[in-house]
Chains A and B, each alone.
Chain A
Amino acid sequence: MNTLYKRLLGGKSGLTNLVVLAVLLLLVLPLSLDIFRLNLVGKYLTFAFVALGLVLLWGKAGVLSLGQGVFFGLGGYCMAMFLKLEASDPVSTKIQSTPGIPDFMDWNQFTHLPAFWVPFRHLPFSLCAVIALPVLVAGVVGFAMFRRRVGGVYFAIITQALALLLSLGIDGNQGYTGGRNGITDLRTLWGWDIRSNSAQYTLYFATCALLIMLIMAGQWLLSGKMGKLLNAMRDREDRVRFSGYDVSAIKVFIFCLAAGLSGLGGALFVLQVGFISPSLVGIIPSIEMVIFAAVGGRSSLYGAVYGALVVNTAKSLFSESLPQLWLFLMGGLFIAVVVLFPNGLAGAWELGKRKAGPLLEKIKSRRRILLPDAPLVSAFEQEKS
């Protein structure tokens, strides 16, 4: 029991982090924000899934991927395809020239559903695809790259190219994918109206719960041999290889894990926000997802959540009021987080705790010095009696 506590929760400090996050997400925010804003927070939390994957992949294993948008998008599109097909039943689409297919296909004069859309009529398949498809793609790409010792910058550029490839591919095929506008006008998930307030609350809490569980799973993963190995790999990959480990297999595993997490985030995004488009798949969103992890402290699981929340909140605030300033700030943020604050918010938190500790001690000892024989009754009460 003790080891389970240690491994899942990360000991005493881990428990504190968990409680703080849980209270924030499950109590403070739902009580203080209206449903519209809470839904926004839910959206930001779906990006935290991607950031979580990046913490494992980049922060721990040292592999930078600038294409996580690909996996976010794949998961999102799988969910969106299911929801779109459900919303495009022959009854509601009877004004189309071809009823029963999504509207954008109708606009492109399609007469029937393309083959690869057909399996997405079924919820179990779609749910599996949300995770399986990103994992499969990551597996193929990862296997090809890591086996050949492609790492570092080369790998990052190739993931960028992949992100570009997918976003262009989606963009240029409006009939098959909804094109630049993406897949919109999603209504129900197996009959349950996802646009209603109660649904949004449910989805929000579901997202939070999943996130917290995955963080604990991540801690379990990192507290065992895998965590030490990732640390060792980042430090001295050669030595790990010469200790008999198949380094490329481990990297593929972590890459697939990060991809699966991103895919899940994408699906939750679609459920909460109600659409998906190539603007969430390409180079720019993929690099932004990296900044969420970086701001949080690239090797901190909890940091990933806070990083995603902080950056996205700032983005909303600034791009409404001062859009010109926002890009400057974001650019500056990238530079600052690399040059000045490599450990991000998590680092600041640790620093704060370390400084606060002796400070608290100092305050306590000061009081003892000033009031060595402090009377048990206050002076006022003494006067009274």
Chain B
Amino acid sequence: MWNGIGRSRRKHLVNNPTKTIPMSQYSASELWSIFIMQGFSGLSLFSVLLLMALGLAIIFGQMGVVNLAHGEFMALGAYVVYLCSEVVHNHFPALVPFYFIIAIVIAFFTAALVGLLVEWSLIRFLYRRPLDTLLATWGLSLIMQQTFRSVFGAREVTPALPEWLMGSFKPTDSIDIPINGVFVMGLTLCLTAAVWLFMYRSRIGLHMRATVQNRVMSGAVGINTQWVDRFTFCLGCGIAGVAGAAFTTIGSTGPDSGSRYIVDTFLVVVFGGTTSLMGTIASAFGIAQGQSISGFFLEGTMGKVAILLTIIIVLMIRPKGLFASKLRS
């Protein structure tokens, strides 16, 4: 990722990590390369955020359930991929080049199944009490985190990624695009499209939307609203599992990986307006890119602080998010 920046600049940054160079001191082409590469690293962040936000938007935006353990479902997906990786490498070495895609599918179903268990045992008692759901799912996230810690250890783990995901391709000399980033983006696009098709073009999606908009009437026309809720929750968790699986290509997984992104994900959903899929996409993109680019020019975590501050201020002015449609109150 450093390739585009001149040697002397790189050395300066390595030797003085806390002293960033103001934008004005870069040449135009260097700036361009930086933007492109930060843009791409921003795109990886965007993909993860969007995948997480999709699952959360379905659960929160559709059902009004706040699942603070959503990050842990993501971590679950990541750990499942890690497990598959261990099993395949130790017992079925022939499957190594193929296992990754299968692992992603397994991650989806595992997360969805755990989601089913959670919905059945906990969430369904708390539908009318969103604040209580918040606290209960926070407790759940603590339990899940500790389970990961006890089972997998406190150190971070990484599944062995297949060959075709490694490396990068270089369209020009100064731009270096990692393949795993492209893969994650591709996966995200496919999944987003699949979700959209499912929600707006399938029968079950129709049932889901109907239940959310008018529960009583949906029940009256024969839709089993309890099962729709359960299904919606599982779908959201499953998507989080896939997000976790995708996450393994760009970072390592530890017991608290989930909590690292949870607040961002919620802000993405709230910022974009919980009723709109386009809003979620745009919001994830804006926030990820904003963080990535500002993180380069501002010291350390200050980039994130700047973005957080911006989001909060915008939310204070438009609390329903940027893309919420005007509904009859």
* Chains A and B touch (C-beta atoms under 8 A apart): yes
A171 to B150, CA, bound (A): 29
- A154 contacts the other chain (Cβ, under 8 Å)? yes
- B251 contacts the other chain (Cβ, under 8 Å)? no
- A161 contacts the other chain (Cβ, under 8 Å)? yes
Does A144 lie within 8 Å of B126, measured CB to CB?
no
Interface residues of A in 131-163 (CB under 8 A from B): 141, 144-145, 148-150, 152-154, 156-158, 160-162
**Chain B at the A interface: mostly helix, strand, loop or mixed?**
helix
Does A164 lie within 8 Å of B308, measured CB to CB?
yes
Measured between beta carbons, the chain A residues less than 8 angstroms from B312 are 158, 161-162, 165
- A206 contacts the other chain (Cβ, under 8 Å)? no
Measured between beta carbons, the chain A residues less than 8 angstroms from B263 are 157, 160-161, 164, 283
Does A171 lie within 8 Å of B301, measured CB to CB?
yes
Does A338 lie within 8 Å of B308, measured CB to CB?
no
Considering residues A145, A149, A328, A335, which has the most beta carbons from chain B within 10 angstroms of its beta carbon? A335
Does B142 lie within 8 Å of A172, measured CB to CB?
no
- A11 contacts the other chain (Cβ, under 8 Å)? no
Measured between beta carbons, the chain B residues less than 8 angstroms from A124 are none
Does B319 lie within 8 Å of A153, measured CB to CB?
no
Does B316 lie within 8 Å of A338, measured CB to CB?
no
A165 to B140, CA, bound (A): 24
Which residue of chain B is the closest to A324 with respect to CB atoms?
Answer: B150
Given A165-B308, A327-B146, A331-B140 in contact, is the A290-B267 Cβ separation under 8 Å? no
A248 to B144, CA, bound (A): 38
Does A335 lie within 8 Å of B304, measured CB to CB?
no
A161 to B315, CA, bound (A): 11
- A334 contacts the other chain (Cβ, under 8 Å)? yes
Which residue of chain B is the closest to A335 with respect to CB atoms?
Answer: B139
A294 to B66, CA, bound (A): 18
Min CB–CB distance A244 → chain B (angstroms)? 20
A172 to B302, CA, bound (A): 7
Given A161-B311, A328-B146, A335-B139 in contact, is the A172-B305 Cβ separation under 8 Å? yes
Interface residues of B in 182-198 (CB under 8 A from A): none
Measured between beta carbons, the chain A residues less than 8 angstroms from B131 are 58, 64, 152-153, 156
Measured between beta carbons, the chain A residues less than 8 angstroms from B308 are 161, 164-165, 168
Does B305 lie within 8 Å of A338, measured CB to CB?
no
Measured between beta carbons, the chain A residues less than 8 angstroms from B138 are 287, 334
A285 to B263, CA, bound (A): 15
Does B150 lie within 8 Å of A168, measured CB to CB?
no
Which residue of chain B is the closest to A63 with respect to CB atoms?
Answer: B131
**Chain A at the B interface: mostly helix, strand, loop or mixed?**
helix
Interface residues of A in 320-359 (CB under 8 A from B): 324, 327-328, 330-335, 337-339, 342
Does A144 lie within 8 Å of B316, measured CB to CB?
yes
Min CB–CB distance A257 → chain B (angstroms)? 19
Measured between beta carbons, the chain B residues less than 8 angstroms from A287 are 135, 138
Measured between beta carbons, the chain B residues less than 8 angstroms from A144 are 316-317
Min CB–CB distance A71 → chain B (angstroms)? 16
Does B142 lie within 8 Å of A141, measured CB to CB?
no
A158 to B315, CA, bound (A): 8
Which residue of chain A is the closest to B269 with respect to CB atoms?
Answer: A157
A150 to B60, CA, bound (A): 16
What 0/1 pattern do residues 295 to 306 of B give for CB contact below 8 A with A? 000011110110
Given A294-B135, A334-B136, A334-B139, 18 new contacts (CB under 8 A):
A58-B131, A145-B319, A149-B319, A153-B60, A154-B270, A154-B319, A158-B312, A162-B312, A171-B301, A331-B141, A331-B142, A331-B144, A333-B139, A334-B138, A335-B140, A338-B126, A338-B129, A339-B136
Name A's B-contacting residues (CB within 8 A). Answer: 58, 64, 66, 141, 144-145, 148-150, 152-154, 156-158, 160-162, 164-165, 168-169, 171-173, 283, 287, 290-291, 294, 324, 327-328, 330-335, 337-339, 342
Q: Can you identify 28 A-B contacts, CB atoms within 8 angstroms?
A: A66-B134, A144-B317, A149-B319, A152-B130, A153-B60, A157-B263, A158-B316, A161-B267, A164-B263, A164-B308, A165-B309, A168-B308, A171-B301, A172-B301, A283-B263, A324-B150, A327-B149, A328-B142, A331-B140, A331-B142, A333-B139, A334-B139, A335-B136, A338-B126, A338-B132, A338-B136, A339-B122, A339-B136
